[in-house]
């Protein structure tokens, strides 16, 4: 039996912290992982609130890293004792999305996560894993493609962030937008993923990086990660005039998950610029522009799911950037906490007091 944080219904403000949860499996093509570190991400809060769909009861969490404990009989490439990052969108390798080279769009595993229980509670009740993962638990069973091997000297708390926040943010810059050296970038939202976008823009060689957030306490933090300038949404027009002569930015990233933030990013982009949607918003939060404006402003609207990453390819790149001192992972971690503190961590993230909290097992 293992500890796990269980959500029983949408809208739960307090998770059920249990010590009687068992991960199901592993089957022939699956891997059991002992989770050593897991991040507390806004997507976890969105699952709890119902913005992102889930089946209950569910073990929350999707951003994690740990040690392989057991492998199925057909598994190759990893073995017990290996350090791994959880890939919450594992590719099947066979669907049209995978064959097009877009593994981040593969829905095979995610679709199964709504019908296949991943855990069993102490009373025998089946429980699901958030997006098929459920990393707020001491153990989790994943498909072979749901784990990415990482070097043993990468701290588990760093490896956990390589499973979501960093690839979602940095990947949006290098894979989706393909930001070019010397360009101008605006980032709407300076939370954990927004700061990863800021870092990605710095790594890509952007000359001007404007971080936009209504919470001015986040502005100096964004500057620490590479933002050359900061502003509140109300100050966007002034900043756009100062930094681009009023033309707007080459690339504008929305990293909040709200239609109003997409509008801010759209307004920040220049004619012919790129607007990249990174935040996970609610199904009913619609966004629109006029047909005239869409054509004559010439802007491109792009979605960046999971940073357009193939984690098999991109995690080694992120590790290399970290080793070279170009990617700051430590600075993203506001605090390290224990399992008993998970509900406090949820409240702190809801209040906007932290960047990333990491639960250590």
Q: What is the pLDDT of residues 312-334, one digit of tens each?
A: 999 999 999 999 999 999 999 99
**CATH 3.40.50.720 spans which residues of the chain?**
168-306
Q: Name the residue with higher pLDDT: 149 or 353.
A: 149
Whether 160 shows a pLDDT value over 90: the answer reads yes
Mean pLDDT of 231-259: 97
* pLDDT at residue 194 tops 90: yes
Q: What is the mean pLDDT of residues 252-256?
A: 98
Q: What's the confidence (pLDDT) of residue 353? A: 82
Q: How do residues 274-313 score in pLDDT, each as one tens digit?
A: 999 999 988 889 999 999 989 999 999 999 999 999 999 9
d(CA 163, CA 150): 11
Mean pLDDT of 242-261: 97
Round the average pLDDT of the chain to a whole number and report it.
96
| Residue 107 · residue 132 · CB < 8 Å | no
Tokens of 345: 């961590």
Query: pTM for the complete prediction?
Result: 0.95
Phi, psi of 266, rounded to the nearest 5 degrees: -60, -45
Say yes or no: domain 168-306 is CATH 3.40.640.10: no
**Smallest Cα–Cα separation from 128: which of 115, 141, 146, 144?**
115
Tell me, what's the pLDDT at 337? 98
Distance CA 104, CA 97 (A): 8
CA–centroid distance for 336 within its chain: 18
Which fold, 2-162+329-360?
Answer: Quinone Oxidoreductase; Chain A, domain 1 (3.90.180)
Q: What is the mean pLDDT of residues 49-72?
A: 96
Q: Where in the chain is the domain with CATH 3.90.180.10?
A: 2-162+329-360
Arithmetic mean of pLDDT, 17-35: 97
Question: What pLDDT is recorded for position 352?
Answer: 84
- Res. 237 pLDDT band, cuts 50 70 90: very high
């Amino acid at each position: 039996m293992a500890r796990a944080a269980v959500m029983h219904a949408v809208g739960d403000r307090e998770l059920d912290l249990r010590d009687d949860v068992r991960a199901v499996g592993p089957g022939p093509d699956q891997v059991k992982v002992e989770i050593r570190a897991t991040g507390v991400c806004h997507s976890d809060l969105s699952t709890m609130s119902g913005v992102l769909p889930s089946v209950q009861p569910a073990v929350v969490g999707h951003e994690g890293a740990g040690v392989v404990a057991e492998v199925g009989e057909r598994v190759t490439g990893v073995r017990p004792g290996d350090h791994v990052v959880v890939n919450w969108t594992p590719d099947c390798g066979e669907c049209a999305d995978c064959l097009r080279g877009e593994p981040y769009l593969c829905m095979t595993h995610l679709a199964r996560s709504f019908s296949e229980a991943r855990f069993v509670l102490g009373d025998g009740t089946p429980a699901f894993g958030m997006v098929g993962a459920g990393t707020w638990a001491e153990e989790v069973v994943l498909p072979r493609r749901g784990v990415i091997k990482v070097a043993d000297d990468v701290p588990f708390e760093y490896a956990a962030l390589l499973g979501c926040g960093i690839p979602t943010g940095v990947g949006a810059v290098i894979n989706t937008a393909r930001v070019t050296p010397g360009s101008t970038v605006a980032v709407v939202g300076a939370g954990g993923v927004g700061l990863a976008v800021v870092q990605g823009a710095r790594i890509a060689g952007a000359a001007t990086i404007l971080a936009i957030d209504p919470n001015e306490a986040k502005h100096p933090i964004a500057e620490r990660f590479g933002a050359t300038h900061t502003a509140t949404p109300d100050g966007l027009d002034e900043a756009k005039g100062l930094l681009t002569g009023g033309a707007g930015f080459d690339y504008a990233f929305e990293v909040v998950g709200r239609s109003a933030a997409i509008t801010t990013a759209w307004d920040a982009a220049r004619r012919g610029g790129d607007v990249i949607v990174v935040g996970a918003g609610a199904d009913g939060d619609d966004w629109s522009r006029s047909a005239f404006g869409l054509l004559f402003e010439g802007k491109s609207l792009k979605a960046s799911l999971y940073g357009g990453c193939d984690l098999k390819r991109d995690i080694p790149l992120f590790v290399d950037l970290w080793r070279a001192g170009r990617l700051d992972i430590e600075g993203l971690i506001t605090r390290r906490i224990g399992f008993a503190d998970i509900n406090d961590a949820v409240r702190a993230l809801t209040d906007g007091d932290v960047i990333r909290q990491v639960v250590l097992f």
